[in-house]
Structure 1
C-alpha cells in the first residue's frame, strides 16, 4: 500500500527555518547534505521525513519547478514499482520530471502540484 512519507519545503534561510521547526514543534534533525543544486536538511516528527531545502539559486531548474520563493516544493509517496507508477502517472495526465534511474522520480500531477514516487525505505519510514 502506498503512503505519504516525505514533505519538502523550499526555504530562503536554512538555519532560521531549522530553528523555527525544532523550537516550535520539537522536530529533530536527521541529516544534512548537498543534493544537486541545493542543501537538504532532513528532519522528523517521529513519523515522516520533513525536509528543508535551500537552493543555491532561484534560477536552478529544480528550484523553479514549484515556483519562486519559499513554499511546499513537493511531497513523496512510496510505491512498490516505480516504473508501473510512472506509466500510470502518464496515463492519467501527469508529466514525469526526473531522468530515468533517479532514486526519487519527480512528477507534475495534472493539477500542477509536484510530487515524487520512491521505493519503500528511502525515508526510513516507520
Structure 2
C-alpha cells in the first residue's frame, strides 16, 4: 500500500520557516542535515515528514523563484513495482539520491505533468512507517 509520508518546501529563511511551522502547528523537530549545497530541517506530526529546504548556493533572486512546494514523497513496500506502474502511466524516473537504500532519501520521479515526487521503501525520519536500517539508526 502506498502512503503519503513526505512533503518538501523550499524556503528563503530556514530558521524563520522552521519556527513558523513549529509555533503554529506544534510540529516536532525530527532532525536536520546538510544536503548538497544547503540544509534541510525536518519536522513531523508523527505521521508525515515536512522537509524545509534552503540552498546556500542560490542567489536571493533564485530562491524567490524556487520558494514553495518542491516535491512530495510516498512510501511503498516495493519500489520496483511502483516504478513499473509510474512508467506504465506515463511518468518517468528522474534521479536517485545517494543513500536511498538507507532511508530519508529516495528515488525521484516525474509525473506526466512534470511534477517531482519521491518513492521510498524506507521512509523518512519522524514518520510512522519509517523502516530502521543500520545506516538510518
Normalising by structure 2, report the TM-score.
0.77
Q: How many residues were matched structurally?
A: 121
TM alignment of 1:33-112, pairs within 5 A? 33-58=33-58, 68-99=65-96, 103=100, 104-112=106-114
Structural RMSD (CA): 2.4
- Return the offset for 1:93: 1.0
Tell me whether 102-111 or 116-125 shows the greater mean CA deviation. 116-125
Tell me, which stretches of 5 or more residues in structure 2 are unaligned?
Answer: 101-105, 129-137
**Closer, same or farther in 2 for the Cα pair 1:86/1:37, shift >3 Å?**
farther
- After TM superposition, the runs of 4+ consecutive aligned structure 1 residues lying more than 4 A away are none
Aligned to 1:119: 121
**SS of corresponding position for 2:18:** helix
Q: Distance in 2 between matches of 1:72 and 1:17?
A: 13
d(CA) in 2 for partners of 1:113, 1:13 = 24
| Structure 1 unmatched ranges of 5 or more | none
